[in-house]
Structure formats: C-alpha cells, structure tokens
Structure 1
C-alpha cells in the first residue's frame, strides 16, 4: 500500500469513528472504496430482506443507485450469501452477473466484498471501465474497509438505541416530575387551607373564650363554666392538630422537593 492510500485509509477510519448516521457512513465509504483501489466506480449495497438495495454510488457515470434486485440474481447478493469476495475480470463471461442490467453501464470488471462476513448486512462493489484484475492487496483493503464499515454500523445502532432509551427515560422522568410538582402544589394548597381556613376561625374561638373567661367567668353557671372549659380544651387540641398537620405537610413537601431534585439530576 502506497503512502497516499495509507493516508486515505487512516482518514477514512477516523471519519467513520465520528459517524453517527448510516447516511454518513455510506457517503464516507463509497468515496473511499473507489479511491483506495483506483476504480472507476464504487457502490454501497444494503441487504433488504431477500433483495439488494443499491443505496449509493461514486462513479464516472450512473450505475444502479436506488434500485433493488433479488438477492439470488446479482453479484452483491452472491457475495452476501456466500460471505466471500467476488473478483471478476470479464463480467460477460461470468454467469453470476445479470448481463442485461450491466449493458447500459460502463462496467467491464468488478470486485465485490461483503459487509460483515459472519452475517452480511450489505456489500461494497468496485467497478472498472476496462478489463482489470485488482491485486490481492486491493481486495484485502476493500474487505478491511467493509469490516470497518460493519463495526461502525453496529456502533451506530448501539448509539441510536442508547439515545432512544435516554429519550424514553427523560420523557418518563418528566412525567414523574410533573406528577411530583402537582402533588407538591396540592400539599402547598392544603397547607394554606389549614393555616388560613381552619386556624383563623379557631383563633377567634379561642380568643373570645379567653375574653369570656377573664371577664365573665364568675358570672357563668357551673354548666356554662364547664362548657367554656370544654371549648378551650377542644380548641387547644384542634390547634395542636393543625400544627401537626402543618409539620407533616412541610416534611412531605421537603421530601417531594428532594425527589424532584434527584429525578432532575438523572
């Protein structure tokens, strides 16, 4: 491998390491595949069930971009099904080639390698306008590029799956936070109601009962005195109950704020 090809391969690997979408991978690989081997054209093929989808190309003239062919009737499908490269010097002497599909093109020779040999997900094709046999080193480089491409696509799938899970988790946390905030607002409303709607009239009852006890206690009958004592005792109990409710409410709101803070830190 000459120095220029080495630089291109290194740059390609670096670019692929930063790729975050299949479109980016295809754009990087189709260019590198052609220029690493000096081919007149290169195609990036994806397996689509039982068909081969020619996703993109870099060539001196149009090939089959956007087309789909049965996987058992094209050379990219053969490379995927057999999990090995196909090198063909004269396409019209090879019965694996659908000749009618090639006649409108410039292609005379080709090399096709599978993307991932264990369970191929696609193929990379190189094409020449004149009869040509690529060297073993060129085929090896092309296969190395395909292997790197397979790893990159797998990494992107993992990255996208993690991103999807993070979005789902974030959405779930937002719902929980909204519920916690709503509950916190309800507790605040409850505290306000207890503090004002209950305590205010109770304060008046206890205040008037104190005035009555100070100014007219001796004038009350025994029954009246007993009733006044009962009112004050029950009023004080009610006041203590309100204080306890307010303390409980404050603790609840404090815990809710803690939970909200924890959820938002995720």
Structure 2
C-alpha cells in the first residue's frame, strides 16, 4: 500500500501546485515543479514500482520526517516515473505524484528547447550539457550495435574535445582561453569544431526520439544548469515549501555537509 503523509508535515496538494504552476513563466514553472518534486521525494522517500510491474508507487516504508533527498533518490524516483508513464495506473496518491513528475518532465523539455533556440549558449556550457544528456541516453529496444557504437563514438569525441579545453586547467577561470606554448590555436579550433559537430549530432538524436530516450533526471539537471549559465534564474520564485521543511533544512545545514550537486567541470 502507498505511504501516507507523515503527520509532522503537510504538503500542498499536487492539484494546487499544478494550478499555480500554469500561471508562471516557463522557467518559473520548471523551478516550481522541480522544488515540489524534491519535496515529494524528501517526504515519502525514493519512489519505485511494484515488483515485476510498471505500477508507480511511493516508498513502501514511509519516512517519519522530511529528509532532503539525495541525487540518487531523485534520479531513481524519476526513472521509476519515466518507466511507469505509459502504463495504466490505479487511482491514488502515487498516480497523482506521477502526473506532477510528468508535468515537470514536459516543462523541462520546453525550457531546454527555449534555451537552445536562443542560439547564444556559450559553447562549453552547451557541450557539457549535451554530454550530460548523453550520459542519460537509453539505447533503443532494437539494440542495434552499429547505432549504439556510433552514438558512443560521438559522445566520447565530445568528451575528449571538452576535456582538451584550457579552461579546465586547475586555477583558471572556465571562461579563460589562454593560448600558450602548450595550447596551440589550431588545437583549440579543432576542439571547438568537434564540440559543435558532435554536440549537434547528439542533440539531433535526442530530438529524433522527441527526447523520450533521455533519462528525466539528466534532462532536469541540464536544464537547471543551463538556466544558471544563461543568467535566467528568477530573483524570486514563488515558494510553497511548508514551514516545517524550512526549519528542518535550516537545522540540517548547520550540522550536515553540503550534498553533491550536478555540475559540469
């Protein structure tokens, strides 16, 4: 049976969260739904599916109190939602949560496409974003080895080109491209050309499948990173986080180390 809400925490209803979301701009909606998705995982624990089914479910052992979710918990919860999306789901809280995760996924793709359409995303941020998306790529069911090898080749070439940029040297700012005896202009030109070519080939692959073959967490993490890279983070995003969660997070931050976050080099 699905977990119930811990008595110490009252979350806003998913219907209210979605109602508020559709009054916002695309980026505000993305951040709003992302925040609530984290609240759901932090409240109920890692989502899963019932054994040998694609029926979406909350954690079988509910948490007694809110805990800030780890990246692994978020990624696996979103993977369970993604794998359950096209299956019939019984009525209940888990189905409502799945709808919210789906709405988060849909706005994620809108945000990614909006940012890509601007055409001025700095090349290194573009490259690392595409590489992050490719890390979450799911091979087609046919498992054509030739197609798989071609995709892997472009992914590896993209990573090699990104890793060769001098902005990755320790102690240098990412935006600094210093040409020295060790870094020839020709090598930089080739690396940037490789990033452009391989990045757009991989992007075309994602779009061919309408983004369905990219794991949700990788897409969400990349969208969040690109929002920051473009300076599009709103100064204020409407908050619906319960006061109890604010208090718990504040107490945890005083004693707990920072959680690792998704980031590019």
In the superposition, the TM-score normalised over structure 1's length comes to 0.26
Relative contact order higher in (CA < 8 Å, ≥ 6 apart): 2
Larger radius of gyration: 1
Which one has a larger percent helix, Structure 1 or Structure 2? 1
In the superposition, the TM-score normalised over structure 2's length comes to 0.26
